[in-house]
Amino acid sequence: MTLQDNHAAGAVVAARVERKWAMVSVAVIVLLAGMAAFAGIHQATMPQARVETADPTTLHIAGEFVESNLGSALEPDGSVTVRAVAQQYSFTPQCLLVPAETPITFRASSADVVHGFLIQGTNINTMLVPGYVSAIPIRFDKPGDHLMPCHEFCGIGHEGMWANVKVIDKAAFLAMTSAHRRLTCVE
């Protein structure tokens, strides 16, 4: 073989190896996207699906986020809906009370700027954008205390914006619901 032939043969091998690697890379990516689609469809693990709005200028006086409606509410189907509002630089309620081993939906919005909503030790993590409602489903396995910081810069008091989540035994929670329509830690 001449040098030219060697060179051409080398180029063919190089191109073949390269093609194989490209195919492996594409397969990895298709697999990853496929896994995400499968988990999303079969286990319904996905980010919030629907877009809902709430006017921040009337948040306190009308609609589901009026102060008397904030906190944990027992629904007829046995699930619990927790409503909260974020504002510079606190959450209302400042301490959320929820039962363990119960399907829970957090519904929250912001009264002013963009805030964050994160419950440490869980996968609850969402943005609160003024004008929109964030809704996240969750189930706590066991009683315990969690910190709930605002995780988005919201002004110079951002570092002080921490709330608490108290997860209590389901029976104890249900006992409290007979006396109060909406529950928070202070009741």
Partner 1 sequence: MLSSKRLVLAHFWLAFTVFGLALLLGAWQMLVRSPLLAWISNPEWYYRSVTAHGTVMGYVFPTLIAMGFGYAISELALERPLIGQRWAWTGFGLVVVGAVMAMVPVSMGLASVLYTFYPPLIGSPFYYLGIVLVVVGSWIWVALMSLNLYVWKRDNPGKPVPLAMFANVAGSLLWGWTAVGAALELLLQILPVALGFRTTIDAGLARVFFSWTLHAIVYFWLMPAYIAYYTIIPRAIGGKLYSDSMARISFILFLVVAMPIGIHHLFTDPQVGAGFKFMHSALTALVALPTLLTVFTICASAEIAGRLRGGKGPFGWVAALPWRNPMMLAVTFSFVMLGFGGAGGLINMSFQLDASIHNTQWVTGHFHLIFGGAIVIMYFAIAYDLWPHLTGRALTSLGLMRAQLWLWFVGMIVTTFPWHYVGILGMPRRMAFYDFTNTALAPEALPVTISVFGGFLLVISGALFFVVLIKGQLAPKAEAGVYRFSIAIHPPTSVPVALNGYSLWLVLMIGLTVVNYGFPIAQLLALKNTSVPAVYVGAQP
Q: Which is nearer to partner 1, 74 or 165 (CB)?
A: 165
Q: Smallest distance from the beta carbon of 181 to partner 1, in angstroms?
A: 26
Q: Which is nearer to partner 1, 78 or 155 (CB)?
A: 155
Residue ranges in contact with partner 1 by CB under 8 A: 7, 10-11, 14-15, 17-18, 21-22, 25-26, 28-29, 32-33, 36-37, 39-40, 45-53, 55-57, 88, 112-114, 116, 118-121, 123-135, 145-147, 149-160
Report the chain's C-alpha Rg in angstroms: 25
Query: Can you count the helices (H) and strands (E) in the chain?
Result: 2, 11
Q: Smallest distance from the beta carbon of 52 to partner 1, in angstroms?
A: 7
Q: Which is nearer to partner 1, 34 or 78 (CB)?
A: 34
Q: Is residue 65 a contact partner of residue 52, using CB atoms and an 8 Å limit?
A: no
DSSP string for residues in 2-13: -HHHHHHHHHHH
Q: Smallest distance from the beta carbon of 93 to partner 1, in angstroms?
A: 19
Q: Is residue 109 a contact partner of residue 56, using CB atoms and an 8 Å limit?
A: yes
Cα torsion 21, 22, 28, 32 to 10°: value is 160
Residue 24 Cα distances to 14, 20, 153, angstroms: 16, 6, 41
Q: Which is nearer to partner 1, 1 or 51 (CB)?
A: 51
Q: Smallest distance from the beta carbon of 123 to partner 1, in angstroms?
A: 5
